Structures are given as C-alpha cells and as structure tokens.
Amino acid sequence: MRTDRRGFLKIAGIAALGLGIKPGMDALLGHGLVEASPEMLAQGAGEGIRWAMVVDLPRCWATPGCTECIAACDEAHNIPHFDDAKKEIKWTWEEPYGKVFPEQDPRLNSSNLGNKLALLLCNHCDNPPCVRVCPTKATWQRPDGIVMMDFHRCIGCRYCMVACPYGSRSFNFVDPRTALDMNKVNPDYPTRTRGVVEKCTLCQERIDVGKIPACVEACPQHALVFGDMNDPNSQVRKIVESRTTLVRKPELGTRPQVHYIVS
Ligand code: SF4
Ligand code: SF4
C-alpha cells in the first residue's frame, strides 16, 4: 500500500470514529475497554468450530530452554529479529510465569514457579477489544474465533495495541525486510512493511488447509494442544473441562482462548 493511501485511510478512520488522535488514545487508555454485552460474551460459545489452544506448562518446563515452537512460528511467518528491543516483532514469545499470571501467588509452589517461562501468543479472545477499536477493520474476527490481520488495510494507528491487554501485537517501526535474510524467507507467507501492526493469527493459513499450527507441530514435548473448543470430544475441550487451567486476566471479560495448565 502506498503511504498516501494509508495516510488517507488513517484520517478517514479516525474521523469515522469521531476522535482526534490524542483524545482517541486517551479515551482508549483511560477507559474500561472490556465492558462486554451479553451478545459479545455469547460470541464463540455458539455452534460451529471455535479454535482454541492449551499450553501445558509443566511439559514445557520439562525441557528448559526449549524454544522450538517460537522458532517454527518465526520461520513460518518471516518474523524479523532486531537487536533493538523497541523494534521487536513477536508473534510467540516467553515471559516469566509471575509476570504472565501476576494474580497467582508463586509462593504457593516451591519450585521457583514465578521465574519459569511461559509461552505467550495472541489469545484469540471471544470478546476481542482490539477488533472493536480498529477504525479500518484491518483486524477482525472470523466465525471460528481467529482474530485476523489485513496488512493492506492497516493504517498503523496502533489503537489495537493500546486496546490489547496482553501485549500481543507488534508495530513495524522499520521495514522488517531489512532484518530478514531474503534468501531464506518463506515464499508462501507475505513479508510486511513499515507502519503496520502484526500478531499471531493461529496459523490460519495452515488450519485452512487441514494442518495444525506450526508451533503445535514443532513442540517435541507435545505441550501445545490445538482444537475445537465447541466440540465436546476434542482434546482441548476435554482438557479444559477436566483439568485446572488458567487464562490471562479473566477479570477483563475478553475470554481468552489460550488456556494454560500450570500444575
Ligand atoms: S490477545 Fe490481544 S490481540 Fe489477541 S484477540 Fe485478545 S485483545 Fe486481540
Ligand atoms: S489493525 Fe491496529 S494499527 Fe492497524 S488500523 Fe487497525 S487499529 Fe490501527
């Protein structure tokens, strides 16, 4: 997309919201973003496929230092690596358990739980605030729950980044292709440009041809389980029904569909 078209869309989008840039950002920052209506909370709970993921953290922790899932995601989606952390692009990444689940008391576990690393990705929330604030519909939710990105429609306003309570979105401050080895890019997945937001799309391009997400396939510990939460016989559904699992920041009402087994 040419910059002038993106600039036009940005102005048009903000105008459509009735917001100036600063008042708009202030409104998003200071506002309870996730006041879900009953209709919104019913999303994803209906019929049809509802994709979800389970991360079995004790299985991850059985192989300390393993980042096979992240490497597979990065390779599949041409994700660049910058030395400058401010330019970082992350679809899947790790953070200490104590930071991921600050409401849980790590003192209740004697195995240094708070410092162990947990895999993070977009939660493909049932009630995604990122989708609600996007002025151009560059991010939207499919009927199967996957929260998508259209890089060509994105005007880089970053409202979605402010709205996401999980830090699941990254902004391309510079041309990401400058940090890629163009001889090694995956030709089946588009590279992005400066000025757009990106994030995990649950490997929609693989799911739609009958494959499982690259991270799930790559995990040597089978710590990642992917499936249809609406199917009572699916493995994800059975795990969430039978085990104690956590989702991040449940109090916000976003209803994340990445569930964590922690013990
Ligand atoms: S984790 Fe963030 S980016 Fe992903 S759907 Fe939820 S609010 Fe949107
Ligand atoms: S996806 Fe995010 S940055 Fe892109 S237009 Fe929508 S709200 Fe703005």
Ligand 1 center to 168 CA (angstroms): 6
Q: Does residue 252 line the site of ligand 1, with CB under 6 A?
A: no
Ligand 2 center to 96 CA (angstroms): 28
Average pLDDT on 121-133 reads: 98
List, as one string, the DSSP characters of the chain: --HHHHHHHHHHHHHHHT--HHHHHHHHHHS------HHHHHTTSSSS--EEEEEEHHHHHTSTT--HHHHHHHHHTT----SSGGG---SSEEEEHHHHSTTS-GGG-SS-GGGSEEEE-----SS-HHHHH-TT--EEE-TTSPEEE-TTT-----HHHHH-TT---EE-SS-GGGGS-TTS--TTS----TT-EE---TTHHHHTTTPPPHHHHH-TT--EEEEETT-TTSHHHHHHHHS-EE-S-GGGS---SEEEE--
- Residue 47 has a pLDDT of 74
- What number of other Cβ atoms are within 10 A of residue 65's Cβ? 5
- Residue 208 has a pLDDT of 97
14, 131, 137, 157: which to mutate for ligand 2, most atoms within 8 A of CB?
157
Q: Please give the number of the atom of ligand 2 that sits closest to the Cα of 10.
A: 5
Q: Which residue CA neighbors atom 7 of ligand 1 most closely?
A: 164
Long-range contacts for 237-241 (Cβ within 8 Å, ≥24 apart)?
Answer: 239/54, 240/52, 240/54
Q: Which residue CA neighbors atom 6 of ligand 2 most closely?
A: 134
Say yes or no to pLDDT of 137 above 90: yes
| pLDDT tens digit sequence for 167-217 | 999 999 999 999 999 999 999 999 999 999 999 999 999 999 999 999 999
**Cα 2–chain centre separation:** 27
Q: For a pLDDT cut of 70, what percent of the chain falls above it?
A: 81
pLDDT classification of 155: cutoffs 50, 70, 90: very high
Rounded Cα distance, 130 and 141, in Å: 10
Distances in Å between the Cα of 47 and the Cα atoms of 39, 101, 143 are: 14, 30, 10
Nearest bound ligand to the CA of residue 169: 1
- Residue 64 has a pLDDT of 92
Between 24 and 217, name the one with better pLDDT: 217
Say yes or no to pLDDT of 34 above 90: no
Instruction: Mention every residue, 6+ apart, whose C-beta is less than 8 A from residue 224.
Output: 53, 54, 55, 56, 69, 119, 213, 215, 216
Average pLDDT of every residue of the chain = 86
Ligand 1 center to 92 CA (angstroms): 13
Nearest bound ligand to the CA of residue 137: 2
Tokens at 222, concatenated:
């089978």
pLDDT classification of 146: cutoffs 50, 70, 90: very high
The residue type at 166: Y
Q: Which of 31-45, 127-141, 148-162, 219-233 has the lowest mean pLDDT?
A: 31-45
Nearest partner of 17 among 141, 157, 139, judged by Cα: 157
Instruction: Mention every residue, 6+ apart, whose C-beta is less than 8 A from residue 117.
Output: 60, 94, 95, 96, 97
Nearest partner of 200 among 124, 111, 99, judged by Cα: 124
- Residue 7 has a pLDDT of 47
Nearest bound ligand to the CA of residue 139: 2
Q: Does residue 254 line the site of ligand 1, with CB under 6 A?
A: yes
pLDDT classification of 113: cutoffs 50, 70, 90: confident
Average pLDDT on 107-127 reads: 88
Q: Is 250 left (phi over 0), alpha (psi -120 to 50) or beta?
A: alpha
Ligand 1 center to 146 CA (angstroms): 10
